[in-house]
Amino acid sequence: MNLNVRYSTIATKPRRNVYRRPPAPVKPPLPGTEPPPIIRTTVASINLSATKGREGLTVGDRVRIVGSGLYNGEAAVIEKLSGGVIPTALVRTEAGRSRQARTIDLEPIP
């Protein structure tokens, strides 16, 4: 008979809970010593005049796409106008490609 065998039925003393001290609160910086605000370069800039849109555009008008982006500088025909917070138009370029563009990025061709 082996007497070195431990049985799982032997009562063990429960472990004590360890209550750690909470970290010290972060002190605010002294006035005048704040670092300059960080401005991320990846943040999009929003043109607030885009909400007004361009007046006088109707379906079938020939326009030139200005601004930056796809098909910049190409002539196109307006196929559909849609309102909203920023008015947009679905245009089809002379190459047969279609794109949705803001109406402020469209310039009428006389």
- Domain boundaries in the chain? 49-108
* CB atoms closer than 10 angstroms to residue 88: 21
The whole-model pTM stands at 0.58
Q: Rounded distance, CA 22 to CA 14, Å?
A: 24
Segment 41-78, tens digit of pLDDT: 877 777 788 888 888 999 999 999 998 788 899 999 99
Q: Which CATH class is domain 49-108?
A: mainly beta
Contact between 101 and 82 (Cβ < 8 Å):
no
Could you report the per-residue pLDDT of 52-61, keeping only the tens digit for each?
Answer: 888 899 999 9
